[in-house]
Structure 1
Amino acid sequence: MKTPEERYSAEISRRLETGDDLEFSLAQLAKAVDASPDDEALAVFLDQLVKTGTATRLTAQRCPVGGCGRVLGSDDTPFSVCPYCHTDYQQEGLEVLIEDFYRLKGETSRDIRWMIVVHGMNSRAAWQEEFSWQIANRLRYSAPVLIYKYGWATIDVLVRPVHRHLAKQMGARIRIAIKHATTSRRPSRPDIIAHSFGTLLLSLILEDPDFDDLRFGRIITAGSIIRPNFDWNRHIARNRIEAVLNHVGAKDSAVPLAQYAIPGAGPGGKVGYAATGVFNVCNDSFGHSDFFEPENLRLLIAEGGLWHSFLTHPLARFLPAGSFVLERSWKPGPLMIRGVSRVVGYMLFVLIAPVSWARRCLDP
């Protein structure tokens, strides 16, 4: 059983981790930790927070009317009339209450204002609609979701020029979406969720000088085929992106093969990213696409879920279960094997590309 001090500390840690309720009165904290507002130990605990610099003490005025009780502001400006219930204190013979408040020194939580989702290969509309539905219904915010559809990708992934073409199209579409968002008075930085081949296209956009004007919020990559040595830190330092969560599936059998079949790809979604500014998190039971199974997605984006926490919480204290660091430098697979697989890939592309093109037209 926890001691009172352990309960107080746990509540303060929770608030700092989530970025919520950073400002409070003694009575409000007492209620949260199931203590009495007259608890001397709680008052001593708060004094210690102030002494260590974890919190600052503020003095504020509160309306004395029972049905109101609103905080009026700091004690620097005297209030003779309540701006909320409009009580004239002098006329009613009342005095404004003076109360101490405490402000924790930490980052506040952030809202998910809107996001862009980039799917993997061969993703049909039913999956995309389910994903959009889950996001819209599980998030507590009014967050529009743009599902970017680059079509039915099959043999196309074997050829690097096709990647660049698709990335150009995607970058142009994102630029239009950002323009619409700013017109609607939403932030210009969307959060991004990308899966599989969609992660590779996202990395090409970040590396393309034509899209240097694009800025993103927080990015989640799942089943990523981006190379582990991709320079995320450079893009974070240039303020292109805010932060990256790389969600890894321990049972992902597709990602390790990507570098042999897809030019420019790598096993980032299996071994992690080397960049120090990235959060690598592994789920021991997930395969390549298990992130988007309805029951898993519900948990990931629900309050307290991994994706929801990453997108909303301050990151200074963000350390989810399954976090890991890429300890050794990553090296691509044997050049000869990659070379042979690429030659075979280009031959297949030449043979099957017309069929793929026809299928793309019939089943976009």
Structure 2
Amino acid sequence: MSPSSHDRWQAEIDRRLQQGVELEFTLAQFAGVVGAQDSDTALQAFLDNLVASTAARRIDSYRCPVRGCDRVLPPGGQPTSCPYCHTDYLQEGCEVIAEHFYRLVGETSRDIRWVIVIHGMNSRAKWQEEFSWEIANRLSYSAPVLIYKYGWATIDVFTRWLHRRLARQMGERMRIAIRQAEKSDLPTAPDIIAHSFGTLLLSRVLADAEFADLKFGRIITAASIVRPDFDWDRLVAEGRVEAVLNHVGGQDGAVSYAQYAIPGAGPGGVAGYDAKTVLNVRTDTYPHSGFFIPENLRVLISREGLWHGFLTRPLAHFRPPGSFVPEARWRPAPLPARIPTRLLAYTVFCLLAPLSWFRRRLDP
């Protein structure tokens, strides 16, 4: 066996494990994909070595010999009849065909069943409509998208009590949506994509004991203003969250300053999350809202895109370009550095609150 043959075969195994597809196959099927002969003893030895190393299992099975049926028969010893074409092999004098399958030890890919998307501050979230349209066009199955709109958030971000109110409203809407999904036979744990201030509201919902009954699938935070020390590990361990991707924009000039004006905020979208269960990925060219420029969004949710891969692939082998681990645990800026900016932000809130209320009455 030449090194190039072995490398080609191993690359195909790695591809299947990374994408969670075609984990079960026969020798002939695998040989056809890698351009080899099923009589190749080196290929047989390669697959046997996978079994010996527990990277794969060998499954002994039988196939119906009747032309036009040819189906793999249910396990449980050598069968005497076919449950599909109802042929009695003893009566017809024919024998079943012994066949061996290989099953790679790994997770299968998952479908994007339904998604809740949450926008950032001062946004009408046009990107959400773009996302919904692209999801509908790029996936081969239906994936409902709930676009959660809490309205424009401007001076609201400066006060913690408004955070709680907005988060409570969002949590109640999520609970209603999850109950509706259950009635429609959809999973009760939706995937989440949140941006900027929407990530902070999401963290408030996750930290609120009132919403401890809510469970979520895979979560993507983009341009996050959640504190890097937020306890994602606990949420994953408790089964509240399946997995988290923190997508960092390398040209984001806003996130670093969030903690100075927004109560409870932090630079998760720049420094990354400290949690061991989180996958931090940095795209150097993205500014604060660069994730949702239509051409970038289309790439992210394409079949080979980062977001599509995170939402569908087995994560044990998922290490996309730009993955990083924070070099040191984050610490908030000293309190004396944050007090003046917080006071200024609260003063702005008090001065502009009547105008904000009036604007909401005209443009809810």
TM bin, normalised by shorter chain, reads over 0.9
CA distance in 1, matches of 2:125, 2:222: 19
Shift of 1:67: 3.6
**Equivalent residues of 2:138, 2:302 under 8 A apart:** yes
Letter of the structure 1 residue corresponding to residue 307 of structure 2: W
Partner-residue secondary structure (3-state), 1:220: strand
Runs of 4+ more than 3 Å apart: 65-68, 85-94
1:72-91 equivalent positions in 2, closer than 5 A = 72-74=73-75, 76-81=77-82, 83=84, 85-86=85-86, 89=89
The residue number in structure 2 matching 1:140 is 140
**Equivalent residues of 1:254, 1:288 under 8 A apart:** yes
The residue number in structure 2 matching 1:20 is 21
The residue number in structure 2 matching 1:57 is 58
Q: Deviations over 1:78-129 (max 9, x none)?
A: 042350x555555655322110111111111111111100111122253332
1:240-255 equivalent positions in 2, closer than 5 A = 240-255=240-255
Shift of 1:328: 0.9
TM-score in terms of structure 2 length:
0.95
Letter of the structure 2 residue corresponding to residue 205 of structure 1: V
Q: Deviations over 1:182-219 (max 9, x none)?
A: 11111110011000000000000111110011111110
1:54-133 equivalent positions in 2, closer than 5 A = 54-74=55-75, 76-81=77-82, 83=84, 85-86=85-86, 89=89, 93-124=93-124, 126-133=126-133
Change (3 A) 1:136 1:362: farther
CA distance in 2, matches of 1:187, 1:136: 18
Partner-residue secondary structure (3-state), 2:150: coil
RMSD (CA atoms): 1.7
CA distance in 2, matches of 1:75, 1:335: 68
TM-score in terms of structure 1 length:
0.95
The residue number in structure 1 matching 2:160 is 160
Shift of 1:69: 2.5
Partner-residue secondary structure (3-state), 1:3: helix
The residue number in structure 2 matching 1:290 is 290
Letter of the structure 1 residue corresponding to residue 118 of structure 2: V
**Equivalent residues of 1:243, 1:278 under 8 A apart:** yes
Letter of the structure 2 residue corresponding to residue 17 of structure 1: Q
Q: Deviations over 1:257-289 (max 9, x none)?
A: 111121111110011001111000000111111
Letter of the structure 2 residue corresponding to residue 182 of structure 1: E
Change (3 A) 1:302 1:87: farther
1:24-35 equivalent positions in 2, closer than 5 A = 24-35=25-36
Shift of 1:140: 2.8
| Unmatched segments (≥5 aa) in structure 2 | none
The residue number in structure 2 matching 1:325 is 325
Letter of the structure 2 residue corresponding to residue 336 of structure 1: P
Shift of 1:234: 1.1
**Equivalent residues of 2:127, 2:293 under 8 A apart:** no
The residue number in structure 1 matching 2:178 is 178
Change (3 A) 1:126 1:221: closer
CA distance in 1, matches of 2:243, 2:56: 26
